[in-house]
Amino acid sequence: MPKTTLDLLQLFEPVRADLVEVEREYLRQVESQVGVIPEIGAYIQKSGGKRVRPALLLMAARLCGYSGPRAVLNAAVVEFIHTATLVHDDIIDDAETRRGQKAVHSRWGNDVTVLAGDFLYIKSMRMALTQDTLDVVRLLCDITLRMIEGEIYQLTKNGDVDISEDEHFDIIRRKTAHLFGGCAEIGAMLGDAGPEKQAALRDYGFNLGVLFQLVDDQLDFTGEAEALGKPIGGDLLEGKMTLPMIHLRDHGGTDAVALIRQIVAERYASPDDWARLNALLHEHRSLEYAQARARAFGEAAQRALSVFPDRPEREALLALAEFAISRDR
C-alpha cells in the first residue's frame, strides 16, 4: 500500500466508521429512476479520492463535541459539491483522466456529464435542506457560489502568462480554500462551539485548502502520472499558470519567459522542452519557493488549532497539515 494512503487511513481513524456511513449515504442519495445517474455516481465513487473534505468536517465536529447523523449528512453534502465541481472541471479542461480512470465526460459525453454535475449540485442542497437550521445551508450556498466564481475567473485567466501571484491566490481561495474552510466551520457549527472556535476552525480549513492546492501545483511537475492519476505538466499544457511557473516567469529571465509562452501558446511541450523547463525550475528554485509558501500556510493552519485542548481529533488535524506537505499524490 502506498505510504501516503496508509498515512491518511491512520489520520482518519477517529472518524473511520463515520466515513463508511458517508459512502453509504452518498450512494443512497445518488439513486434515481434515470439509470445513468446512479451509474455515474457509482463510477465516480469507485475512482476513490482522498475524502479529505468529509473527514475534515467529521473530525472538526468531533473536536467540538458532536458525533451524529447530521455530521454524516453534511459530510456527504460536501462530497457531492466537490464531486460536482470535479465533473464540470474535467469538461472545461477537456481532461481525459481523473484519478487514474477515464473522466466522466470521456465515457458519457459532455451533454450528460454537464447535467450530472448539475444534479449533484442540486442534490447537495436538497440534502442540506433536510436539516432544522438554515445556517449551514446559507454557508454551503455561499461556498458553492465562490467556487463557481473561481472557476469562471480562472477561465478568464486561462492562457494568460502574465497572471499575477495575487490573482493566482484569489483563484485558489475561491476554488479550493473556501470549501475546506466551510467543512471545518460546519463541524464547529454542529458542535455549537461558539464564535472563537468556529472562526479558528474556519481559518484552519481555509489555510489547509490553500496548502493542498499549492502542493498540487508542485506535484504537477514533480509527481508521477500513475500516482497522480493524471498527466504530468497538465496544468501548463492547459494554459494554467501555477505558482512555480509564476515564480519562474518572474525570476528566470528571458529564456524562461520565452519557453513558458511557447508551451502555453502551442499547448505542447517536447521532451527537450520539459527537460529545459525542469532545469530552469531547479536552477531558479521555483519549486522550493512554492514549497516554502505551502509550508507557511500549513503552519498557519496548525496555529489556528491552539484554542483547542489536546484531543485525538486535534492531533489528527495537526498531522493532516503535515501530511499535506509531504504527500506525493
Strands (E), the chain: 97-98, 101-102
Give the closest residue to 193 by CA, choosing from 317, 62, 42: 62
Residue 139 near residue 185 (C-beta atoms within 8 A): yes
Name the residue with higher pLDDT: 186 or 4: 186
Task: Look at residue 329 in the predicted model and tell me its pLDDT.
Answer: 65
Model pLDDT for residues 274-299, shown as the tens digit of each residue:
999 999 999 999 999 999 999 999 99
pLDDT reading at 99 higher than 90 = no
Residue 120 near residue 87 (C-beta atoms within 8 A): yes
pTM for the full predicted model: 0.91
Residue 316 near residue 215 (C-beta atoms within 8 A): no
**208, 209, 214, 218: CA torsion to nearest 10:** 90
Model pLDDT for residues 151-189, shown as the tens digit of each residue:
999 999 999 999 999 999 999 999 999 999 999 999 999
Give me the helices (H) in 13-51, please.
Answer: 16-29, 36-46
- Domain edges within the chain: 3-326
Give me the helices (H) in the chain, please.
Answer: 3-11, 16-29, 36-46, 52-63, 69-93, 104-108, 110-128, 135-157, 165-172, 178-190, 195-222, 225-228, 234-237, 243-251, 253-266, 271-283, 286-304, 312-326
pLDDT reading at 128 higher than 60 = yes
Model pLDDT for residues 213-223, shown as the tens digit of each residue:
999 999 988 86
Range of lowest pLDDT (49-53, 93-97, 113-117, 155-159)? 93-97
- The Cβ of residue 102 has, within 10 Å, a number of other Cβ atoms equal to 15
Q: What is the CATH number of domain 3-326?
A: 1.10.600.10
Residue 92 near residue 151 (C-beta atoms within 8 A): yes
Model pLDDT for residues 185-212, shown as the tens digit of each residue:
999 999 999 999 999 999 999 999 999 9
Strand partners, 101: 98
Q: Name residue 216's amino acid.
A: D
Strand partners, 97: 102
Residue 152 near residue 124 (C-beta atoms within 8 A): no
- CA 39 from chain centre, in angstroms, equals 24
Task: Look at residue 100 in the predicted model and tell me its pLDDT.
Answer: 67
How much is the CA Rg of the chain, to the nearest whole Å? 20
